[in-house]
Amino acid sequence: MSTTSFPLLQTINDPADLRRLSRADLKQLATELRAFVLQSVSQTGGHLSSNLGTVELTVALHHVFNTPEDRLVWDVGHQTYPHKILTGRRDRMHTLRQLGGISGFPQRAESVYDTFGTAHSSTSISAALGMALAAQRKGEDRHAVAIIGDGAMTAGMAFEALNNAGVADANLLVILNDNDMSISPPVGALNRYLAQLMSGHFYAAAKNVGKSVLKNAPPLLELAKRLEQQAKGMVVPATLFEKFGFNYIGPIDGHDLDSLIPTLENIKELKGPQFLHVVTKKGQGYKLAEADPVAYHGPGKFDPAVGLVKSTAAPKQTFTQVFGEWLCDMAAQDNRLVGITPAMREGSGMVEFHKRFPDRYYDVGIAEQHAITFAAGMACEGVKPVVAIYSTFLQRGYDQMIHDVALQNLPVVFALDRAGLVGADGATHAGAYDIPFVRCIPNMSMACPADERECRQLLSTAFEQAHPVAVRYPRGSGAGVAPLRGLEGLPFGKGEIRRERKDEGTDASRIAILAFGTLLYPALQAAEALDATVVNMRWAKPLDIALLLDVAARHDALVTLEEGAIMGGAGSAVLEALAAAKVVLPVLQLGLPDAFIEHGDPAKLLALQGLDTAGIENAIRGHFRQG
């Protein structure tokens, strides 16, 4: 990427360089940094709106604090592109979210400036508090700053950390990057003045002197506290955070360096837990993203001068779209259905459902635990909840799935999007573990549709059951098998043979491939070269035991195939079932290894794991020495 348009930015190789700049130069740096983010993301794809909104905040933080000695913990992690650019990774931004390139999220192994890996939300305050108290225990004088935004304050974990931090006597700064809908009146000169005043030495000293003078007169001290809260409450929403034990400052304009820098400099000198509220705008500086921050949240490659252009080619239907259409159709047929999402309306394909059935749509915020127990409560009253949740985010509600849903055997449907590898978002968002962690829970069932048609049918099957069922499906499109328009399901817990081995007269090993999910289609292609039987198992739990034992009796070896963790996965279920039936024959398990798979093109990642057609064929030939 050419740096001719970024003369000041190209001189910044680490934050120490920008600490030498004047205020005027910092403003010019912010302008260049915003343009660089836009140019960079337009060439690679990635998160845009959130990063355009954190430019000035990032510049101010690295200017005021002595990073990496002072710890910055970013939450949500997809707002850190400006941070990456200013911390020595400017020349690698062209590799963003690509195989072998830099991550789209903070990653400790990538840079000393990435002090904590964050990609799931609402973890920053807990992590920064841990860092602050660790520094205190070690006698080290350093600052810990949690930057939390993009709705992450809706999660209970953030408030658990606030509750702990307020009584922990830690030198912790929490910055609320309020970038969606401000909870305060518009910011301006008065707010700027008050923020600097409340963060300054005079205010802090006066507050402490007042406490000392009045400590022997409790009624007067309590009156003084109430007067202070009332005075602050007239211009700022301080009360909530003050109750947690924080000194609340703000709100201030998060795009105004003349406000940010002196306020941060004042806060840096204060002791104890501080809370700074900054208001930013998603897409700031790029009119198209400002007007539609959702569309520009995570765009692919595009021309910044033109903006996003809808493709004229007919796209293949995605699994997410299949789910969205099924949800609307089933809701029209059954008024018991409600849809629940933890802040993933667009990602989970629920936009149309929200429009058509607004009174049956529940977005609970980034609160996966609450979403699941909320669904359980509804199910107790005869409602039929469908929880649309990414596989990786269901991990955050695991206890609730066990204790509140499965233990009570409540008919909740879990629509697990992003099952398997997810590509550019990498290990933090991969849905690699849902089969192992769901199938070990009593009363739970797990369906693994092979294509778009089966996805719709198995969602219907799941909805018909009187117990909890999860249906897992990947990001993007599948084999392109058009769904049927009806709502008929498939037989519960039953698979099917999709290809029978043809050459029964040879002495070669008779092999059957048991496919769970969308890897059925590369299995069918590999089977042509191997002359193998292929079974579409459809269900990881319950297994179709009768079909399994029939296939095992007619073959010399089995291969299990899944886009999920091998350890404890569907292949393990097959081995357990064979052992229970006292059937002994060789079984090769193919799936994701005991390792975190990093970001990259999904097809390349699958090939690297040997889960494409060629990899499946080679693994089987090598293991059983065929051909």
Q: What are 156-192's pLDDT values in tens digits?
A: 899 999 999 988 888 999 999 987 643 333 345 544 5
> How far out from the chain centre does Cα 41 lie?
19
Q: Is the residue at 296 inside a domain?
A: no
Judge if 452 and 508 occupy the same domain.
no
* 51 in a structural domain: yes
Domain of residue 543: give its range. Answer: 496-624
Residue 334 and residue 343 in contact, taking contact as beta carbons nearer than 8 Å: no
Name the nearest CA neighbour of 530 among 432, 618, 414, 606.
Answer: 618
Instruction: Please check whether residues 508 and 429 belong to one and the same domain.
Output: no
DSSP 303: B
Closest CA to 376 of 332, 345, 349, 407: 407
CA quadruple 97, 102, 106, 107: dihedral positive or negative?
positive
Mean of pLDDT values over 57-70: 97
- Mean pLDDT over 316-330 rounds to 96
Average of per-residue pLDDT across 489-499? 98
Q: Is the separation of the CB atoms in 506 and 556 below 8 Å?
A: no
Residues 409 and 500 reside in one and the same domain: no
Tally of structural domains, the chain: 3
517 in the same domain as 468 = no
Summary mean pLDDT of the chain: 90
Side-by-side strand order, sheet with 361-363 = 361-363, 337-341, 384-390, 413-417, 469-472, 445-447, 539-541
Q: Tokens in use for 623? A: 């293991």
Give a yes or no: residue 43 inside a domain.
yes
What pLDDT is recorded for position 242?
85
> Does the residue 41 lie in any domain?
yes
Half-sphere exposure of 503 (CA within 13 A, CB side): 12
Specify which residues 415 forms β-bridges with. 388, 471
Query: Is 205 within the bounds of a domain?
Result: no
| Residues 262, 323 share a domain | no
The sign one gets for the Cα dihedral 128, 130, 133, 139 is negative
Q: Is the pLDDT of residue 81 over 80?
A: yes
- Domain boundary pick from 472, 507, 529: 472
CA Rg, the chain, in Å?
Answer: 27
Average pLDDT for 316-327 = 96
Write out pLDDT tens, residues 417-467: 999 999 999 999 999 999 999 999 999 999 999 999 999 999 999 999 999
Distances 179 to 283, 415, 573 between C-alpha atoms, Å? 10, 29, 46
Structure tokens at 271: 């002791």
Which CATH number characterizes residue 565's domain?
A: 3.40.50.920
Q: Say whether both 401 and 467 belong to one domain.
A: yes
Q: Could you tell me if 139 and 75 lie in one domain?
A: yes
Please tell me the distance from the alpha carbon of residue 490 to that of residue 456, in angstroms, as a whole number. Answer: 10
pLDDT digits (tens, 9 = 90+) for 263-306: 999 999 999 999 999 999 988 999 999 898 888 988 989 999 99
Averaged over 143-165, what is the pLDDT? 89
> Which residues pair with residue 378 across a beta bridge?
none
DSSP symbol at 356 = H
d(C-alpha 597, C-alpha 611), whole Å? 13
pLDDT value at residue 66: 97
Residue 235 pLDDT > 50, yes or no?
Answer: no
H/E stretch holding 539 reads strand 539-541
CA separation (Å) from 58 to 29, 55, 61, 62?
Answer: 11, 5, 5, 6
Q: What's residue 443's pLDDT? A: 98
- In the predicted model, what is the mean pLDDT of residues 106-119? 93
Predicted TM-score of the model (pTM): 0.87
Residues 456 and 348 in one domain: yes
At 192 the pLDDT is 59
Query: What is the average per-residue pLDDT within 473-488?
Result: 94
The whole-number average pLDDT for the span 349-364 is 96
Q: Is residue 486 part of a domain?
A: no
501 and 468 co-located in one domain: no
Same structural domain, 398 and 443: yes
Whether residue 343 sits in one domain with residue 249: no
Helix (H/G/I), strand (E/B), else coil: 616 = helix
CA atoms of 368 and 342, how far apart (whole Å): 6
Are 211 and 221 in contact by the 8 Å Cβ rule? The answer is yes
Q: Which CATH number does the domain housing residue 107 bear?
A: 3.40.50.970
Greater model confidence, 495 or 168: 495
Tokens 């879990």 belong to residue: 414
Residue 304 lies in a domain: no
Closest residue by Cα to residue 343 from 386, 378, 389: 389
Residue 442's Cβ-count burial label (10 Å; 0-12, 13-18, 19+) is exposed
pLDDT of residue 221: 58
Amino acid 295: pLDDT: 87
3-state secondary structure of 55: helix
Report d(CA 77, CA 361) in Å as an integer. 28
**For residues 224 and 321, what is the distance between their CA atoms, to the nearest angstrom?**
57
Residue the block writes with tokens 């058009």: 482
In this predicted model, which residue has the larger pLDDT, 20 or 191?
A: 20
What was the pLDDT predicted at 575? 98
**Residue 516: pLDDT above 50?**
yes
Q: Which candidate, 95, 106, 90, 264, places its Cα nearest to that of 174?
A: 264
The pLDDT value recorded for residue 183 is 36
Helices 124-138 and 156-165, axial angle in degrees (round to 10): 30
CB contact at 8 A, 33 and 83: no
pLDDT at 5: 84
Q: What is the pLDDT of residues 209-229, one digit of tens each?
A: 555 555 556 665 565 556 555
507 and 414 within one domain: no
Residue 223 lies in a domain: no
> Is residue 203 over pLDDT 90?
no
Active-site residue numbers? 282, 368, 396
Please tell me the predicted confidence (pLDDT) of residue 223: 59
* Average pLDDT value for residue range 550-569: 97
DSSP one-letter string for 369-437: HHHHHHHHHHHHTT-EEEEEEEHHHHGGGHHHIIIIIITTT---EEEEES-B--STTGGGT-B-SHHHH
